[in-house]
Amino acid sequence: GPIGVAASTDGKRIYVPIRHANGLNFGPGVLLAIDVDSGQLVGNVPIQGDNDVAVVSLDSRTIFTSNPTDDRGLRIVSAATLSVVADVDIGSDVHGVAISPDGKIVYAVTTQRLYVISVESKAVLASVAMGPVGNHAAISPDGSTVYVASSIPGTVTVFSTSTLTIT
C-alpha cells in the first residue's frame, strides 16, 4: 500500500509511492500521480519493487523516487510525461531524499551511506559512510546542513554539505 506522499510545489499533483501494488493491478511497486482538484489518477510509473520515497523538485518538473530493483537505488521521473528519465546506481536501499534549496543537488540516504547527486548530470558527485539504517533526510534552509535520521541506533546525524563531514 501507500508508504509516502509528495506534493508538487504548485499544489496541483501529489505523488504516492506504493509498495506491493499487486492488489491494485499495477505490479510489484508503482509511483502514482494524482490530480489534487479532481482526485483522479493522472498516471503511474512502474518501480518494480518496494518504493519507499518520493520527493518533487522545486520546479515541480522532476520526481525523485526509490527504485530497489537491480540496485539502481534512485529513479528520476519526468512529471510532465510520467516517464523514467534516469536511474542512479547507488544501491537498493534508498529510504530518504532531500533536495538542496537551489534545486541543484539531491541527497539520497541508503541504509549505510549518504549520496550527493547532481540534478543536472544525474551523476553521483560524492558519498560518505554514515552508519547503519539511514531512514530519512532533511536539509537546512540555507543548504549548509543535511540531517539524516537513523532508526538504528536511534540517532540523527548532522552533515556539513560543504565538507561532507559529521558536525
pLDDT tens per residue across span 70-109: 556 888 999 999 999 998 988 767 888 999 999 999 999 8
pTM: 0.88
pLDDT at 20: 63
pLDDT at 69: 57
Contacts (Cβ under 8 Å, ≥6 apart) of 36:
7, 11, 12, 13, 14
Task: Give the phi and the psi of residue 46 in degrees, each rounded to 5.
Answer: -65, 140
Q: Are the C-beta atoms of 146 and 137 separated by less than 8 Å?
A: yes
pLDDT at 103: 94
pLDDT at 10: 93
Provide the pLDDT confidence category of residue 62 given band limits of 50, 70 and 90: very high
Does residue 64 have a pLDDT over 90?
yes
Does residue 33 have a pLDDT over 80?
yes
pLDDT at 115: 94
pLDDT tens, 112-148? 889 999 999 999 999 998 876 778 899 999 999 999 9
Residue for grid cell 504548485:
10
The 10 Å CB-count burial string (b at 16+, else e) for 26-40 is: bebbbbbbbeeeeee
Residue-averaged pLDDT of the chain: 87
Residue for grid cell 552508519:
131
